[in-house]
Amino acid sequence: IFIVFIVFGVALGQIDASITETQVASCQSILGMISENLNFGAGFTMTLSGYALGCSVIAIFARIGGGIYTKAADMGADLVGKTEAHIPEDDPRNPATIADNVGDNVGDVAGLGSDLLESYVGALLSGTILAIELFAKHVFGNTEMLRQMIYFPLAFAAAGLISCIIGIASLFVRKKLSDNPHKELNGATYISAVLTMVLGGVIAFFCFNQFGGVMIEGYENLSVFDSVEFHIGWVSPWVAAAIGVIAGIVIGKIAEYYTSYDYQPTKELSAASVEGSALTITQGLALGMISCMLPCVVLGVAIFGSYLLSGMYGVAAAAIGMLSFVATTVSVDSYGPISDNAGGIAEMSYLDPSVREITDELDAVGNTTAAIGKGFAIGSAALATLSMMTSYIFAYTPAPEVPNYAEGALDKIALNVIEPAVLVGAIVGAALPFMFSGMLINAVAKAARKMVEEVRRQFREIKGLMEGEVLPDYKTCIEISSQGALKEMRVPAVFAIAFPVVCGFVFGAEFVGGVLVGATISAIMLALFCGNAGGAWDNGKKYIEVGGVEGHKKGGDAHSAAVVGDTVGDPLKDTVGPSLDILIKIMSTISLVTVAAFANNNLLNMLGL
């Protein structure tokens, strides 16, 4: 069964990564052929940013719409079915069961694919765009070096795709797999990561070794490597990318520790459910908050380490490294909703309870892998957004009239945090993810309320439904989820897209720069909190269901309290958390695309302020 689920996950992962790389390569090739007729700074940057923006817009609609659909159905099914009617999860008597299972595919497969496609594109293009901006603003002047800096992200990602194929294939060639599916999934990820780093080193050698000892014309003591801040020669971007790979794995392991019931935090959360739902919620909130610290430290070390080795281009390389084996990540992530659907089908088909026990165990692993995948997504989003923000500041900073290649990249730009415009922008930006999250949770609550009312109505009015003599009206519940998702997704999505543009035309480029900084910092914390708290609540419930808490079983008071925690955590981990990484990337991308329009044409400038 484990292998069957992985096969379908692999199909999605390989398709997602392959299509992304093909499209990005095609975009770069077409632009390369007409580059002589383009301004390197404006033409390339705006065109590539437009492609990234298109991916971001689709991703935010898919994630928000899919998240509202699936969580409205899930909450409606759980609140009435489990806690009021006391019937099993996915019981065919529950009118919201079909909508719930369809939602797993809408939110966790289609939404996941568009989310990681957008993350992958953002990581790939952030390095390319930054390299072009560095060249355009005379940080370095070697056109061949620029060409290799543009090629390196795509080549490294291609190495990651090849490594993922080998890593996943290792599961199929082994004669016997262990009884621990999570161990096998981790093994495939580690094989992919190691191979990616090895192949990445070879690519870095062929891309950058040729510049060893090459000096900048007119600067006797300044090499090409020094001008782009490659402080340890040709290996600099490779080591930075390797730092991203390692940071991604470490962040994933931290997420696993806080969300898997193999470890103490989730076991303690399950034990708290014995005392009621209030303690379940309280301890889950504490777990989510505590779980933010270590990933942020790892992320900070990755950013600082990659910057010290390779400058701002190194930060972009770290983002590429973190997502280079995205095919494995998608394969492992999509395994969760597939196993969840299988469990639902087993329950609705009245198969032997032992079948549901197997699928529940695999689903618990899927919850943990989903939390790991969300950690990868938000980590790479932070790194890619930082690169995009640097490109954004370069975009509205005029190039020096006389090139000075001895001056570092960050010496040519400024975003002074004590400037009132930047500081106020950062404060407003820090509040944005909370506003955005509140809108999403409110949207889920509205749709879920209608679902709960409909499920209760059917239990009350359809005679023989609870006895299993007649089937419920599944279609009405599906329509409620669909209509709710389409209606409620509009305001949050438009808000995310329009806010930086409106701010730019009113307050100017520096204010928007502050907004991007503040939003990125708070979104990282909030996304980690939502993903880990929600994952822990879900697996805490499953730990009780498998008999992990002595004296308490499925259907008891402790289980009912855990179901409440799981229901609270559902919109956090599956709607809010995944949408926040898209929020910061779409804001940085749309700001980069539109900065040329509002940098000198904003209300403050017109008023002479």
Would you say residue 35 lies in a domain? yes
- Judge contact between 271 and 315, C-beta under 8 A: no
Question: What values do phi and psi take at 600, rounded to 5?
Answer: -115, 0
The 10 Å Cβ neighbour count of residue 558 is: 24
* pLDDT tens, position by position, 514-524: 999 999 999 99
Round to whole Å and give the CA distance between 59 and 65: 10
What is the SS3 assignment for 470? coil
DSSP class per residue in 22-42 = HHHHHHHHHHHHTGGGS-III
DSSP 8-state assignment for residue 86:
-
Q: Residue 551: left if φ>0, alpha if ψ -120 to 50, beta else—which one?
A: left
With contact defined as beta carbons under 8 Å apart, do 389 and 516 qualify?
yes
For position 164, what pLDDT does the model report?
82
* 316 falls within a domain: yes
405 inside domain? no
Region class of 52: left (phi > 0), else alpha (psi between -120 and 50), else beta:
alpha
In this predicted structure, what is the pLDDT of residue 279? 92
Residue 393: inside a domain, yes or no?
yes
Q: How many CB atoms lie within 10 A of CB 606?
A: 9
Q: Mark 398-427 as b/e (b = at least 16 C-beta within 10 Å).
A: eeeeeeebeeebeebbebeeeeebbbbbbe
Confidence at residue 358, expressed as pLDDT on a 0 to 100 scale: 78
Coil/strand/helix, residue 176: coil
User: What is the per-residue pLDDT for 35?
Assistant: 46
Asked whether residue 260 is domain-assigned, the answer is: yes
* Regions of the chain where pLDDT drops below 70: 1-46, 137-140, 175, 177-182, 367-368, 371, 398-415
Q: How many domains does the chain have?
A: 1
pLDDT score recorded for residue 37: 45
Tell me the residue length of the chain: 609
Q: Is residue 402 part of a domain?
A: no
Q: At what angle do helices 2-33 and 326-348 cross, to 10 degrees?
A: 140
Q: Does a structural domain hold residue 251?
A: yes
User: What is d(CA 368, CA 537) in angstroms, rounded to the nearest whole number?
Assistant: 11
Residue in this structure with the two tokens 């794995």, named with its chain if needed:
249
499 in a structural domain: yes
CA-to-CA distance for 578 and 244, rounded, in angstroms?
20
Structure confidence by residue, pLDDT tens digits, 427-473: 999 999 999 999 999 988 888 899 889 989 988 888 888 888 888 88
**Cα-Cα-Cα-Cα dihedral sign, residues 73, 75, 80, 81:** positive
pLDDT value for 39: 47
Residue 261 corresponds to which tokens in the numbers above? 């019931």
Nearest to 204 by CA among 260, 253, 165, 242: 242
- First-residue to last-residue Cα distance in the chain: 66
Domain of 188? Answer: 2-397+410-606
Q: What CA–CA distance (Å, rounded) separates 28 from 59?
A: 21
| Single-letter amino acid code for the residue at 99 | A
